[in-house]
Structure 1
Amino acid sequence: MQHNHKNPLIEKPEINSDQIIGRIKEVLNIKTDTDLASSISVSKKTVSSWRRRNSIPLTIILLVSSMADSGTDYLLTGTDGRLRQRTQHKGQM
């Protein structure tokens, strides 16, 4: 028997590569895709491909997170995961 119920805990989040690339450039203090490509050792065509496919490799997110000392939550969603966790914990008390 199959259930057609969506589990909100495992629902696939909406990915917007343009926004993620924008946040990556922000935390690295970079203005252009060309400079971004150079700083993470990929070609500009690769960055363009990420935009076109709406997909960025996790290895790049982890690399940038390490380079910029920025959380992956911020890079992926634009929010600070620590703040969200603190807020959730307060509601549970």
Structure 2
Amino acid sequence: MSTPFDRDPPVSPSTRAQHLSASAVLDRMKEVYEVDSDTALADALHTTRQNISKWRSRNSIPYTEAVAASYMRNVSIDYILTGRGARDQKQGTAQELDVQLLRAILLSLLAFDRIKIIGGDTIAELNEMAKAIAFQYKRAAEAAQHLQQTDGLNAEAARAVAVAATELISSDGTLFGPRLDPVDRSAGD
């Protein structure tokens, strides 16, 4: 299996690591959001300056925020994560998420106990989750794009409508199961 790095001109492993570091990703996100400080980036990401600092010091790439930046700013996720490829997304096509990248993200979340898999084959479950997320993401992105092109909504309003529609669709149990109740009612039984 070849990777994007196999197709590119040879570069040293240290150069690759620099491009894939959390600091480099955060710097590209600053570029994407057109801000010049970590404080301004934190504001754009609706997080704290301390979180930005933690991501840098721990070399922890904020994948969720990177995907959101890609979607909100119509910038290639490959560019944000690796610095390679075209910066801007092609207009007129909905962005598709890479299932293998999603699986890797889910594995990292599982490793840090941010998600749990109950029963069954963990790898198979993660693969199915990644496919379902990629499918739903593409549907939502296409809906947002359609709203922009046919109804004249701006990108932010179209995204908000697509998010609301996705929450409604997934909450009826058709794909992800019923929405979880934050209150554990079994404790009193």
Normalising by structure 1, report the TM-score. 0.69
Deviation at 1:33, TM superposition (A): 0.3
Counterparts in 2 of 1:46-85, with a 5 A limit?
A: 46-80=51-85
Instruction: Report percent identity of matched pairs.
Output: 33
Q: Hey, what does 1:16 align to over in structure 2?
A: 21
Deviation at 1:26, TM superposition (A): 0.6
Q: Hey, what does 1:28 align to over in structure 2?
A: 33
d(CA) in 2 for partners of 1:37, 1:20:
14
How many equivalent pairs are there?
73
CA deviation vs aligned residue, 1:2-59 (integer Å, no higher than 9, x gap): xxxxx875xxx74311111111011111100000001111000000000011012211
d(CA) in 2 for partners of 1:51, 1:32:
13
Task: Please say if residues 22 and 62 of structure 2, whose CA atoms lie closer than 8 Å, have aligned partners that are also in contact.
Answer: no
d(CA) in 1 for partners of 2:21, 2:59:
6
Normalising by structure 2, report the TM-score. 0.35
Q: Which runs of 4+ in 1 moved over 2 A?
A: none
| Structure 2 residue ranges without an equivalent (≥5) | 4-15, 87-189
| Structure 1 residue ranges without an equivalent (≥5) | 1-6, 82-93
d(CA) in 1 for partners of 2:52, 2:62:
11
